[in-house]
Structure 1
Amino acid sequence: MYLSFCLFIKIRFSFWKAAAILPGHLYYNFVCQFEFKKPVVCGKVCMRTYSTNNPSDKAKLDFLKKGMLLNYQHHWIVDNMPVTWCYDVEDGQKFCNPGFPIGCFVTEAGRSKDACIVNSNFNEKDAFYIFNHVDITIYYHIVEHEQLGARLVAAKIEPKSYENPNDDKPDCSGGPKFLKNKHTGEFKITYTYSVNFAEDKKIRWASRWDYILESMPHTNIQWFSIMNSLVIVLFLSGMVAMIMLRTLHKDIARYNQMDSVEDAQEEFGWKLVHGDVFRPPKKGMLLSVFLGSGTQIFIMTFVTLFFACLGFLSPANRGALMTCAVVLWVLLGTPAGYVAARLYKSFGGEKWKTNVLLTAFLCPGVVFADFFVMNLILWGEGSSAAMPFGTLVAILALWFCISVPLTFIGAYFGFKKTGIEYPVRTNQIPRQIPEQSFYTKPFPGIIMGGILPFGCIFIQLFFILNSIWSHQMYYMFGFLFLVFIILVITCSEATILLCYFHLCAEDYHWQWRSFLTSGFTAVYFLVYAIHYFFSKLQITGLASIILYYGYTMIMVLIFFLFTGTIGFFACFWFVTKIYSVVKVD
């Protein structure tokens, strides 16, 4: 276990409110060792004395009051299991929180905040109640025919507050321990704990996480999200099928039946831009780099979620999900380099050295720079969520020693292969694009293209943000993988639909537009994150705000590359397919 009561002033807490706490990665051993089946009754941990006349003590006492006011949380772990605080909620259900508060506050008006609601004895106005005692219950079951003896299946805690008339020999009695908001002089706090062991024959070791996960009633909402997303997918699939089976089929049949050039000149629409549809886009270098990084992120996400669905990345393995994602990203440098090089060569680019260097360093460099700045802020604030310097060096070593060489290898094979063969030739002189209506102009189309994909994920996004910023358990990877598949289909179909409309309007600049159309979903992601910040979180302090938006920008950039890549390759397949079945003289 970690976070001794005595040291919690000195310990490097994450300085977030409980609803916005960053998950700490550094764990500390508890000063008291538990012995199996040896209960402890009101064991003393230590005593702390603060004096408001001492500037140092006053600062610590103010920090303690701030922590209770913002509902700071302890997070303990025993046998890789979170020590949970279970309490009753509405409809007779029980919620198990993998953390418990250090205290709570009662306002001057007598309004109990946060954990003070659970105890009717907390009735002193304008006072901070300190949870200076915990009752810990360790649940186990005996393992028969094995040498292990017993296994821990649950660890629950109940925070309490005692005045303890005798601080030297506490007996866990007296009224609740509180600190007046305007207290002056000396203030003593004695920290105690009790441990009890209980045998539970019903809970098996393999399912010991179930009581935590089942207390989070999100399943019905998740199914609603899935059904909502499926309705959107069916709608888009019907639209795309109508275009592919009716409109395009009739257009292709009519065009292929033409016998004279005069007949072709009378036609209009997507057929007239066949000589320009595969013209290299502007800023082809940047587009190819984005697509290479997006391919790397797409494969990494797919494999990570697939492993998570199989149970290899369960919450019991702390940090396994992030570790798997980082390792996969490092090992997938070859596809990134290959895709970027192959597309850049098909765009007619010749600066292959610049292309491979940008693929290896541009997007990963932006993410690492943002992450490094956020880590510096965490170091400066003394947060337990700060990543140690050695870990940063290890990540840099993985990046430069594995990912970069693999990117160069992939780029070598990408440039070595011949360029992509297009079904139609490109004219030397670009065709003039006619005046576009409002709905076929680039910006309105891009804005509309991101609405439907975001509609498929916004409910799932709420739970993901809760797991990141509210320190909740996220375990429904089956739902997440299904939403991932739905998102891929929705981005593809929405982008294909808009691409067809633009081609019919004789606008052949589809490459960047297809990337930005589905990539604009990330902008809605950013808007939702801003809404989540103001509606769900209560973050105070400039550093905390910078951290929230800094990490959010990393997620937005990754999501932008991911969705943009899906849209581009969907349109690439669509454009190649429709022009390959048209006879062009």
Structure 2
Amino acid sequence: MASVSLCPQKWAVWILLLVSCANAFYIPGYSVTRYNDNDPIPLLVNKIFSDNTQLQYAYFDLPFVCPPSGKTHGGSPFGSGQSVSLNLGEVLRGDRIMTSDFELAMGKDLECQALCTREVSRSDVKWARQLVKEGYVIEWIADNLPGATSFVTVDRSRKYYASGFKLGYRDISPVSGQPRYFINNHFTIVIRWRSAPEGGKLVVGFEVYPKSITAEDRTESGCPKAVHKDNEGLGLYLPPNLSRMQEKYSGLSYIPEDDEDDDGATLKIPYTYSVYFREDTKIDWASRWDLYFTNQGESSITHWLAILNSLTISTVLGVTVFVIWSRTVQGDLKGRGDGAMDDRKTKGRTRQRSEKKGDGSLEDNDVERDADYSDDESVEDTAGWKLLHGDVFRTPAHSGLLAPLVGSGMQLLFMATGLLLLSCLGVLNPSYRGGFVSVGMGLFVFAGVFSGYFSGRLYKTFGGSAWRKNTLITALLFPGLAFCLILLLNLFVWAQASSTAIPFSTLIGLLAMWLLIQVPLVYLGSWVGYVRAKPWEHPLKTNAISRQIPTQPWYLRVPIGPIMTGLIPFAVLFIELLFVFKNLWQDKTGYYYVFGFLSAVSVVLIVTVVEVTVIATYSQLCSENYHWWWQSFLTGGSSAFWIFAYCIWYYLFKLHITGFVSSLLFFSYSFLACAVYGLLTGTVGFLAAYAFVRRVYGYDTRQML
């Protein structure tokens, strides 16, 4: 067969073809929708949320907004109020997306359109005032873009969006000095579009400008006579109940207005909207989400400083680990040996001299030389980690709990790695609403195989025999505790009628995923790890009688030692935590988008955890303490303690969360996140220490042979 050779030009052509094919893949949430003139654009309503509370509410559950009429619009087979199918992540994050009665047609401006007039009772007015006071904003969706409030930088050089728009606003009465509350009942919708190269028009922006307009001075259609001029706002106020006022002045007990029962008084709130389409050629469709990512330039500098800080800390620790390995460990082994080696050499010389003398006795000068040799070596070489060769691999206490925890940590490590990788590739992006949580749940369930495998094999290494019991603990321990916590929190949220509450059907679905999918996968992995795979072999045998451990220095004791070492990984992660917490708790209208920086910091964090655990384990072994199994796990996950302490500080000094339920949700979810982080990094620390100890004492064994 003749050989085929390609010239450099042909290789270049092949490379260009491969590069061109690399762009032809689909990312969820990135499907392009092209509109022709007068094509309907569905406007979906979702929920209201606030930066000051963790409770969210479905838009149509609000008693003071226009309810869905059920009519169809724009040729859609579904009437308004129809629920849109949601993925698991959308449900868990509190989304309740439904079709609405707003009519938007591409390129067709609408000066004013009346929606409805809603009569609101006294109790509903009170609730609306409370929601306005807590700073709630509304989220609508058009062409997969959330309705945004538009802002311009101080120097007017750049425009950016904040997801959502205000439900209402508050000001101070110039007469009484008391706060007044107004509700936004007119919405100016601006759709920004640009022409598509293939034809049609693409939506590149969705802006909503809310306004409060009094119910007076309106046309027959219900629209204000001057929509875009300064208008008096519609106040959320009803006159006090006169019967209660009479009770007050007659000397009877008086109940304040906010606590009055409904007496039939209502407040009429007319809702209207305007629609305008504006061409914008400065925004590309592929980059239309960039406007939601605020302060990219300034934050990028901070992220690079965070990475530099993390690399500096990790490099210093790396040098320390290198010195420990190259100077101390290998120097001790190659240079002096350990107590076990000395004993073998002494016994060997004794046997040789006995054989030479022939009668099995030693000459006096030989005994004196051996005694001098042993005394000299015992001063220098029989202290520290070398004395633990017969106990270092002794099965730890509560090994039946350590193995499931390590298995769960491997499961979480696989999930976190997959999420970061998919986020860096752009598969998980803000346009894929709920995708991060949905994919994370899928990866966690699938990773049950890895959880069972590592738990079963480690359990077998510890000498355990009840592997089915270990499998059951692995499959039920962490997921069960997390599910029970979420179920308990759900009871409090249900009582608040919030959309943050997980629906009962979703809870049943989660329970089915756990018991019917994950548990069998954990069993499969555990069967492979315990029955089919061999246990990890240790290079040294364990003595029958355990060695007595001397008194340990205060900085190596539990919990002081692990807590102190946890400060170093926390210092690596601290700056990035500022951005994560800001987007997660403080600024919910923004989006966290710098997964590349987060991935880099996460890699440095893992390396730092490995280095810290190795140093702490070596220090512990040098103090003749062979209980390193649990100590290494606690050392690896100890930075979770500082992260939770940072959560408490953040709650006290940065957040303005109001209400018992919101505070309970904050601390519960923070604790759960720290537990996940602690399991993950604790497993990394344990595996690093295990590999280090096996390497050190395995090298020791080869030297003794």
TM-score by length of 1: 0.90
Q: 1:429 to 1:556 in 2, by over 3 A?
A: same
The alpha carbon displacement at 1:428 in A equals: 0.9
Q: Quick check: 1:179 aligned with 2:235?
A: yes
Q: Quick check: 1:140 aligned with 2:193?
A: yes
The alpha carbon displacement at 1:454 in A equals: 0.9
Q: Quick check: 1:247 aligned with 2:290?
A: no
Report if aligned partners of 1:6, 1:45 keep a CA contact under 8 Å in 2: no
What secondary structure is seen at the aligned counterpart in 1 of 2:471? helix
The alpha carbon displacement at 1:385 in A equals: 2.3
Q: Quick check: 1:74 aligned with 2:125?
A: no
Q: 2:109 aligns with which of 29, 36, 39?
A: 39
Match of 1:193 in 2: 273
Q: 2:492 aligns with which of 377, 401, 408?
A: 377
The alpha carbon displacement at 1:169 in A equals: 3.8
Q: Quick check: 1:459 aligned with 2:513?
A: no
Match of 1:129 in 2: 182
Task: Map 1:371-410 onto structure 2 (within 5 A).
Answer: 371-410=486-525
The alpha carbon displacement at 1:109 in A equals: 8.4
Q: Separation in 2 of the partners of 1:99 and 1:450? A: 39
Q: Separation in 1 of the partners of 2:591 and 2:236? A: 35
Q: Separation in 2 of the partners of 1:338 and 1:73? A: 47
Task: Map 1:290-305 onto structure 2 (within 5 A).
Answer: 290-305=405-420
Q: Separation in 2 of the partners of 1:155 and 1:183? A: 38
Matched residue type, 2:555:
Y
Q: 1:193 to 1:7 in 2, by over 3 A?
A: farther
Q: 1:174 to 1:307 in 2, by over 3 A?
A: closer
Q: Separation in 1 of the partners of 2:524 and 2:336? A: 44
Q: Separation in 2 of the partners of 1:363 and 1:202? A: 50
Of residues 534-543 and 64-73 in structure 1, the stretch that sits farther from structure 2 once superposed is 534-543
Q: Separation in 1 of the partners of 2:421 and 2:610? A: 21
Matched residue type, 1:249:
Q
Q: Quick check: 1:236 aligned with 2:317?
A: yes
Task: Map 1:136-285 onto structure 2 (within 5 A).
Answer: 136-146=189-199, 149-167=200-218, 168-171=222-225, 172=227, 173=229, 175-179=231-235, 183-184=239-240, 187-215=267-295, 217-256=298-337, 260-261=345-346, 262=374, 265-266=378-379, 267=381, 268-285=383-400
Report if aligned partners of 2:419, 2:436 keep a CA contact under 8 Å in 1: yes
What secondary structure is seen at the aligned counterpart in 1 of 2:112? strand
Report if aligned partners of 2:411, 2:450 keep a CA contact under 8 Å in 1: yes
Report if aligned partners of 2:563, 2:641 keep a CA contact under 8 Å in 1: no
- Deviations 1:353-392 (CA, angstroms, capped at 9, x unpaired): 2100000111010111111222232222121222222222
- Deviations 1:399-423 (CA, angstroms, capped at 9, x unpaired): 1222111111111111122221111
Q: 1:421 aligns with which of 507, 518, 537?
A: 537
Match of 2:118 in 1: 48
| Percent identity (aligned) | 35
What secondary structure is seen at the aligned counterpart in 2 of 1:482? helix
The alpha carbon displacement at 1:23 in A equals: 4.5
What secondary structure is seen at the aligned counterpart in 2 of 1:38? coil
The alpha carbon displacement at 1:465 in A equals: 2.4
Aligned length: 556
Q: Separation in 1 of the partners of 2:695 and 2:235? A: 73
The alpha carbon displacement at 1:322 in A equals: 0.9
- Deviations 1:135-173 (CA, angstroms, capped at 9, x unpaired): 111011122334xx1111111122222225335342325
The alpha carbon displacement at 1:189 in A equals: 2.4
Report if aligned partners of 2:114, 2:272 keep a CA contact under 8 Å in 1: yes
- Deviations 1:451-489 (CA, angstroms, capped at 9, x unpaired): 011111122222222333331201111111111101110
Of residues 454-463 and 216-225 in structure 1, the stretch that sits farther from structure 2 once superposed is 216-225
Match of 2:125 in 1: 61
Matched residue type, 2:169:
C
Report if aligned partners of 1:297, 1:558 keep a CA contact under 8 Å in 2: yes
Q: Separation in 1 of the partners of 2:609 and 2:230? A: 62
Q: Separation in 2 of the partners of 1:576 and 1:249? A: 14
Q: 2:603 aligns with which of 476, 482, 485?
A: 485
Match of 1:99 in 2: 164
Q: 1:255 to 1:406 in 2, by over 3 A?
A: farther
What secondary structure is seen at the aligned counterpart in 2 of 1:517? helix
The alpha carbon displacement at 1:29 in A equals: 2.1
Q: Separation in 1 of the partners of 2:184 and 2:398? A: 60
What secondary structure is seen at the aligned counterpart in 1 of 2:101? coil
Report if aligned partners of 2:183, 2:236 keep a CA contact under 8 Å in 1: no
Q: Separation in 2 of the partners of 1:488 and 1:278? A: 25
Q: 1:361 aligns with which of 470, 476, 494?
A: 476
Report if aligned partners of 2:453, 2:526 keep a CA contact under 8 Å in 1: yes
Match of 1:16 in 2: none
Q: 1:58 to 1:199 in 2, by over 3 A?
A: same
Report if aligned partners of 1:333, 1:407 keep a CA contact under 8 Å in 2: yes
Q: 1:443 aligns with which of 548, 559, 568?
A: 559
Of residues 438-447 and 132-141 in structure 1, the stretch that sits farther from structure 2 once superposed is 438-447
Of residues 31-40 and 271-280 in structure 1, the stretch that sits farther from structure 2 once superposed is 31-40
Report if aligned partners of 2:46, 2:96 keep a CA contact under 8 Å in 1: no
Q: Separation in 2 of the partners of 1:31 and 1:535? A: 42
Of residues 61-70 and 377-386 in structure 1, the stretch that sits farther from structure 2 once superposed is 377-386
Q: Separation in 2 of the partners of 1:98 and 1:237? A: 43
What secondary structure is seen at the aligned counterpart in 2 of 1:197? strand
Q: Separation in 1 of the partners of 2:460 and 2:499? A: 47
Q: 1:139 to 1:245 in 2, by over 3 A?
A: same
Matched residue type, 1:61:
V
Q: CA RMSD in A?
A: 2.4
Match of 2:637 in 1: 519
What secondary structure is seen at the aligned counterpart in 1 of 2:410? helix
Match of 2:45 in 1: 2
The alpha carbon displacement at 1:174 in A equals: 5.0
What secondary structure is seen at the aligned counterpart in 2 of 1:35? coil
Q: Quick check: 1:412 aligned with 2:468?
A: no
Matched residue type, 2:623:
A
Report if aligned partners of 1:277, 1:508 keep a CA contact under 8 Å in 2: yes
Of residues 242-251 and 485-494 in structure 1, the stretch that sits farther from structure 2 once superposed is 242-251
What secondary structure is seen at the aligned counterpart in 1 of 2:98? coil
Of residues 173-182 and 430-439 in structure 1, the stretch that sits farther from structure 2 once superposed is 173-182
Q: Separation in 2 of the partners of 1:411 and 1:513? A: 25
The alpha carbon displacement at 1:182 in A equals: 8.1
Match of 2:51 in 1: none
Report if aligned partners of 1:23, 1:468 keep a CA contact under 8 Å in 2: no
Report if aligned partners of 1:345, 1:415 keep a CA contact under 8 Å in 2: yes
Match of 1:113 in 2: none
The alpha carbon displacement at 1:499 in A equals: 0.8
What secondary structure is seen at the aligned counterpart in 1 of 2:95? coil
- Deviations 1:237-260 (CA, angstroms, capped at 9, x unpaired): 111112112222211212449654
Report if aligned partners of 2:125, 2:236 keep a CA contact under 8 Å in 1: no
Structure 1, unaligned runs of 5 or more: 13-21, 51-56, 111-122
Report if aligned partners of 1:294, 1:562 keep a CA contact under 8 Å in 2: yes
Q: 1:312 aligns with which of 399, 410, 427?
A: 427
Rg comparison, structure with higher value: 2
Matched residue type, 1:238:
V
Report if aligned partners of 2:93, 2:434 keep a CA contact under 8 Å in 1: no
